[in-house]
Chain A
């Protein structure tokens, strides 16, 4: 179902999606804290402030880049890596483990923000056991899972 992700759940959704995400904060367009996960409330306010500062610094330093202002930032420090991504309405920042793969983390950030903006929900595969519990597998059910329509099926 599209548009089911709410700002309060967004940071948690990102941390569920990526096992390398330790904590995340979501900021609205005004820079106010809109959601958090992995941090107590007092710390999350400070984290939101730091996430805002991160983009402010980047904007001051790199506003004249040929591709426009940076949309994502990655900063690797001794104890971990900070990834941040933004849309015109939201900014999502996450502290990841050192072992995190940058490309995956940045893709997850984009995907979660896309879902928050009303885009397609991220589809996660479920274990076979859960599927079995949902009911017996049928050909019709399998066909409905196909990403593209089966050729010639309409002619039937």
Chain B
């Protein structure tokens, strides 16, 4: 079947729809979520009102914060080391 040719308004509407869908997808991807997988790899999404949901997110948040801190501390150290190497060279 031949696709119906769109006019400028139709094309603009198509672009806007695509943009809106992308924004929705990005928002969805940023939302907190918890999934558990059984040994066969079958995934189950834990609902926000599900048991353990809040606790798992809190624990995961603390883990991520720990890594953020470690990386932030390591950066100046790495920069200092690079500077020292430049001076030696």
Contact = CB atoms under 8 A, between A and B. Distances in A.
Interface in B34-79: 34-42, 44, 46, 50-53, 55-57, 59-71, 73
Contact of B56 (A43, A58, A67): A58
B38 A22 contact: no
Given A57-B52, A71-B37, A79-B65, A40 B70 contact: yes
26 contacts: A38-B70, A50-B62, A53-B59, A54-B56, A54-B63, A60-B52, A61-B52, A65-B38, A67-B40, A69-B38, A72-B37, A72-B41, A73-B36, A74-B34, A74-B35, A75-B32, A75-B34, A75-B59, A76-B33, A77-B32, A77-B57, A77-B64, A78-B32, A79-B61, A98-B29, A102-B35
Interface of B: 29-42, 44, 46, 50-53, 55-57, 59-71, 73
